[in-house]
Structure 1
């Protein structure tokens, strides 16, 4: 099981990610697209990177808005896995 990060480690990792915020035990970001099709196309681009590292985001879609939440459920909070996946997601257009 992945090891939980300390509060200091979480803040340090979060400072290197623009457009992401800490909400409780989750790392979250939201993106807005021109329409539903563009939002779904973005979500589909998340599949391969998430599968490649074996760590999957929680995703909410509301028409043209996509909210992504990361947490390591089996560890009960934020781990290095969450920040690694956030970095991958940040690179997707």
Structure 2
């Protein structure tokens, strides 16, 4: 699911079911997670940066000590696309690799 076409409401609902730790916030999806410590949080950010670069799709990331908040939206499409959900799944993988919840 890496299309840049804007998703319908039904497609968004179905895609959210595949990334249960994410929630919708208007034209974005968001997730927060706590890493075990600050270095682990930074490792997650680096891993996400590599995935984002590969997809040419970049999230908004907020880091506060060991708490990370990610916001995904495809601004060029005016809402959510398959790329947002592809990157959300990859962010989940990066968080799992660092035992972040």
Same fold (TM over 0.5): yes
Alpha-carbon distance in structure 1 between the residues aligned to 2:78 and 2:65: 30
Alignment counterpart, residue 11 of structure 2, candidates 9, 13, 26: 9
- Report the alpha carbon displacement of residue 78 of structure 1 after superposing the two structures with TM: 0.3
The count of aligned residue pairs is 93
DSSP 3-state at the match of 2:80? coil
Secondary structure at the counterpart of residue 18 of structure 1? coil
Q: Which runs of 5+ in 2 are unaligned?
A: none
Residues 1:87 and 2:93 are matched in the alignment: no
Q: What are the within-5 Å matches in structure 2 for residues 10-89 of structure 1?
A: 10-89=12-91
**d(CA) in 2 for partners of 1:6, 1:91:** 25
Pairwise CA distance, 1:51: 0.8
Segments of 5+ residues of structure 1 without an aligned counterpart are none
Structure with the higher fraction of residues in helix conformation: 2
Normalising by structure 1, we get a TM-score of 0.91
Deviations 1:16-37 (A, max 9, x none): 1121111111111111023222
Runs of 4+ in 1 over 4 A off after TM superposition: none
